[in-house]
Structure 1
Amino acid sequence: MTARQKRIVFIILGLCAVAGSSVMITKAMQSNLAYLYAPETVLAGEVPENKLIRVGGLVKKGSLKRSDTSLDLSFVLTDNRGNEVTVTYDRILPDLFKEEQSAVVRGKLNSDKVMIAEEVLAKHDAEYMPEELKDVLKKEHAPAPDKTTEVTY
Structure 2
Amino acid sequence: MTRKQRRLTLIGTGLATIAAALGLVSFAMRDTIVFFHTPSEVEAKGVAPGVRFRLGGLVQEASVQRGRDQVIAFRIGDANGAVGVQYRGLLPDLFREGQGVVAEGMLDPAGVFKADTVLAKHDENYMPREVADALKSQGRWQGEDPAATGSP
TM-score (norm 1): 0.68
Pairs within 5 Å for 1:96-111: 96-111=94-109
Q: Does 1:77 find its partner at 2:76?
A: yes
Match of 1:140 in 2: 140
Q: Any stretches of 5+ residues in structure 1 without a counterpart?
A: 144-153
Instruction: Give distance in 2, aligned partners of 1:41 and 1:19.
Output: 31
Measured at CA, do residues 36 and 5 of structure 1 come closer, stay the same or move farther in structure 2, by a change above 3 Å?
same
Alignment check: 8 A CA contact 1:64 1:75 kept: yes
Q: Deviations over 1:41-92 (max 9, x none)?
A: 45x5543231333322212344322233x1321112233x584322101233
Aligned mates of 1:31, 1:140 — CA distance in 2: 25
Residue of structure 2 aligned with 1:128, choices 118, 126, 129:
126
CA distance, structure 2, for counterparts of residue 92 and residue 27 of structure 1:
37
Structure 2 unaligned regions, length at least 5:
144-152
Retained in 2: the 8 A contact 1:34–1:52?
A: no
Distance 1:35 1:49 in 2: 17
Q: Distance between the aligned counterparts of 2:125 and 2:7, measured in 1?
A: 56
Aligned residues: 140
1:90 aligns with 2:88: yes
Structure index of larger Rg: 1
Sequence identity of aligned pairs in percent?
35
Distance in 2 (CA, whole Å) between partners of 1:90 and 1:110 is: 15
- Opposite residue 116 of structure 1, the aligned amino acid is K
One-letter amino acid matched to 1:75:
F
